[in-house]
Amino acid sequence: MAYKNLQDFIAALEKEGELVRIKEFVDPKLIITEITDRISKQYGPALLFENTGTEFPLLINSMGNYKRMCMALGVNNMDEITQEIESMFKMITGPKDSIMDKLKMIPKLGQISSWMPKTISGRGACQEVIQNEPDITKFPVLTCWPEDGGPFVTLPVIHTKDPHTNIRNVGMYRMQVFGPTLTGMHWHKHKVSARHFNEYKKLGQKMPVAVALGGDPIYTYAATAPLPDGVDEYILAGFLRKKRVELVQCITQDLQVPADADIIIEGYIDPSEDFIWEGPFGDHTGYYSLADWYPQFHITCITHRKNAVYPTTIVGIPPQEDAWIGKATERIFLAPIKMTMVPEIIDMVLPMEGVFHNLVIIKIKKDYAGQALKVMNSMWGAGQMMFTKMMIVVDGEVNIHDQKAVAKYISENVDPQQDIVFNSGPMDVLDHSCSKAAFGGKMGIDATQKLPEEMRFENAMPNFENKNSIAKEKILAEFPAIKDINDSLLKENISLVFIAIEKNKKGQIAELSKALFELADFKLVKIIIFLEHTIDISDIADAVWRFSNNVDPKRDAFVISVDSQQEPSHIAFDGTKKTKEFDGFTRDWPNILANTQEVINQVDAMWDKLGLGPMPVSPSRKYLGQLYGTGAVVKE
């Protein structure tokens, strides 16, 4: 389904009871974030702030639950898209034995051609108003978190093109606002637009850039989609909306943008110019991404619709709106992966606690020994899957959308010293756990049912009965650095224990792991995850989020091998923050995200005026006590 424009999508959300209009004045600096964070944690409605102190209303959390993400994609269920892609692949690539088989393809090929983007003549609705003197500060650009370097545009659909081929790329990279006509352009070294930038630099030419905000929400999704270099994102958008994207020529740059967008920001980047110090920024990992040098984007023109709405989002500690965008990618790209690369894949999940790149669970149809390892290596070589830190492969009847079921399956089928592999490779630039920026350790867990060739012993893997609990008081008394133990998963036959520890010396986790696994209480426990003593380890989702962010699996895993078939082997992970003193870690470590007590109090005081129902407790209240002091960077 194609939406005529963003206003059409807003009307659809409102009709479905999925949107609340807020007429009270709300400050875009921190206050909107605090309100939205409370709502997004409850999977609450989209919010349209109609009084932002500017002439533009602000839309946020528009895709912040499964239903609204489906509405944006024009489906009732995301798996409809997976099935359609599979059907199309089979039709196009299948054998054509007769002339009739070939003729039957003509209507489908005609339909596909009707989805291709097209540049139309004249001006678009996005150009109804042309600012004589462009000024991005006239829009309600959010300052999201207290230690952010300034206000950031967070949902920009950014257009660049290869200077040699003119092939377009559409991506999404945050933009810090430095002045009326100047922003940063935060694209990472692995991104296509960064490659375009390098080509313009070699040519000694200025790089044209155009930014679209609003329009059909499918444009926002398409800009985030992990398409191969050279594939136009507007082809994907046309397929999803079942209607071609109509583009118009920019006013001051040689680029084309969606005619139905709300706001267009045109400009250029001069590769000969010094970079600008950009950030920090409260990012989708739930931590601040720290300041660094990025290109300067100079604005030459801003146009917009007469009734333009400024779309934005916040990211942070999950769940947030971006989790549902990630869910769409998980479902949409499952089919191409199955059809072109890894046919044994049945299903795939990117848990929100893994913030996209830290954790993936893959289910396969297993036919031979070593197949799980083959799948891991294939996936690590597939586009943005190269950033995946931890990959878990399962088979059988396990429901991989049930995280406890997956954890139990791992407990039953994993021999840590045999079935966990470690590797190194490129990491997401936002991964703060790596000892070296954008390069670190990876881990693959083969949790499939084992064939004889894959086991250490001739007999089948023993099915160890877990203890139901650990003698906590005894352990706490014997090891003073341990401040808390969460053994609740043992009662569900999940052989995993969380331990909160206050680190105070080098090599402590390795030493403690060995000591604990020698105790009777831990003889049958396969996995221990160590976290900082400030973390509430009773909240398992939170514990997994912190662990997956803080661990470099290759560096921070401690495998305890055993020779006996009467007890399992073991593995422990150091999921604490890393320091120079205790870990030899020399990079800056970022802080987690939480709003200030002052902002929390302000929103508490105004809540009844917002029309959002009973006031939820601020998520930041939980995390204020977990901050590493003040600032975006942890002070050792």
Catalytic residue set = 283
In SS3 terms, 352-395 reads as HHHCCCCEEEEEECCCCCCHHHHHHHHHHCCHHHHHCCEEEEEC
Beta strand extents in 308-344 (DSSP E only): 310-311
For the stretch 312-333, what's the b/e string if a residue is b when 16 or more beta carbons lie within 10 angstroms of its beta carbon? bbbbbbbbbbbbbbbbbbbbbb
363 in Cβ contact with 400 (< 8 Å) = yes
Q: What are phi and psi of 266, to 5 degrees?
A: -105, 150
Distance CA 122, CA 249 (A): 8
329 in Cβ contact with 360 (< 8 Å) = no
Distance CA 234, CA 247 (A): 10
- Reference 253, options 307, 205, 204; nearest CA is 205
16 in Cβ contact with 62 (< 8 Å) = no
Cβ neighbours of 605 (radius 10 Å): 9
- Reference 461, options 522, 415, 508, 400; nearest CA is 415
Alpha-carbon Rg of the chain, whole angstroms? 26
* Helix residue ranges, H only, 94-185: 99-113
Distance CA 245, CA 221 (A): 14
Distance CA 472, CA 548 (A): 25
Q: Is 303 exposed, middle or buried (0-12, 13-18, 19+ CB in 10 A)?
A: buried
Distance CA 539, CA 623 (A): 12
**C-beta pairs of 75-84 under 8 Å, 24+ apart in sequence:** 78/327, 78/328, 78/331, 78/332, 79/331, 81/240, 81/331, 81/332, 81/335, 82/331, 82/332, 82/334, 82/335, 83/335
Distance CA 234, CA 257 (A): 10
- Reference 394, options 360, 351, 442, 354; nearest CA is 360
Three-state secondary structure call for residue 623: helix
Q: Is 261 exposed, middle or buried (0-12, 13-18, 19+ CB in 10 A)?
A: buried
